[in-house]
């Protein structure tokens, strides 16, 4: 194992929060490349929102060699399951399985809480969204399978204009998750 694979995911601290917003801004750039300007230009989560996750102990970062965040995940709880509110990696560090490591960390946390599943909402056709999560072990939910709180999230996303492109909720069972 190289030193980079030994890096430890750690809880986000207050000083990390502005950097998480910076990561979110640069992570939006690939959406511009495929014509999804509204997504690319969307504002990152507010410092208050990030702080809420951080104070709840459900915001984690993947650090670079200097300890600065280059990827992060914030985890909600939706209908009693873990819910990836956001997972983003600086595109300069893409392809290193940082996102997968962050999701694995969230899965371990959720299992420790006795949860059964992890969910998210995502774009169906964007290569680094739906197809990526499917490869990791998530499955698309039908509208009928969406729980009440997932339906609320989807409605809020639609109201925000995200349904200009196909979106869906996805779910993975924690007992079937393959950790790296």
- What is the mean pLDDT of the segment spanning 89-107? 95
* Number of CB atoms found within 10 A of residue 161's CB: 11
pLDDT for the residue numbered 1: 37
Beta bridge partners of 87: 73
Three-class secondary structure of residue 144 per DSSP: helix
Q: Is 37 exposed, middle or buried (0-12, 13-18, 19+ CB in 10 A)?
A: exposed
pLDDT for the residue numbered 180: 86
Among 152, 115, 126, CA closest to 32: 126
pLDDT for the residue numbered 76: 97
pLDDT for the residue numbered 7: 67
pLDDT for the residue numbered 2: 40
- Give the helix ranges, DSSP H, for the chain: 17-27, 29-33, 37-40, 47-55, 98-112, 130-136, 148-159
Check residue 44 and report its DSSP letter.
P
93 has pLDDT over 70: yes
Convert the pLDDT of each residue in 99-133 to its tens digit: 999 999 999 999 999 999 999 999 999 988 999 99
Convert the pLDDT of each residue in 145-163 to its tens digit: 999 999 999 999 988 888 8
Q: Is 8 exposed, middle or buried (0-12, 13-18, 19+ CB in 10 A)?
A: exposed
What mean pLDDT value characterizes the chain?
92
Convert the pLDDT of each residue in 28-63 to its tens digit: 889 989 999 888 888 899 999 999 999 999 999 999
Question: Alpha-carbon distance 55 to 70, whole Å?
Answer: 20
């Amino acid at each position: 194992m190289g030193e980079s694979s030994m890096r430890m995911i750690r809880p986000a601290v207050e000083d990390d929060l502005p950097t998480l917003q910076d990561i979110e801004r640069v992570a939006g750039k690939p959406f511009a490349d495929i014509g999804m300007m509204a997504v690319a230009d969307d504002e990152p989560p507010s410092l208050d929102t990030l702080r809420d996750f951080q104070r709840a102990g459900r915001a984690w970062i993947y650090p670079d060699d200097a300890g600065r965040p280059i990827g992060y995940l914030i985890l909600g709880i939706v209908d009693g399951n873990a819910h990836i509110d956001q997972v983003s990696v600086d595109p300069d560090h893409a392809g290193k399985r940082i996102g997968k490591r962050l999701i694995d960390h969230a899965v371990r946390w959720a299992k420790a809480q006795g949860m059964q599943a992890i969910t998210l909402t995502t774009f169906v056709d964007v290569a680094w969204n739906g197809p990526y999560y499917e490869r990791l072990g998530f499955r698309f939910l039908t509208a009928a399978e969406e729980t009440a709180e997932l339906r609320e999230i989807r409605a809020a996303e639609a109201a925000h204009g995200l349904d200009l492109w196909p979106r869906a909720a996805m779910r993975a069972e924690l007992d079937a998750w393959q950790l790296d």
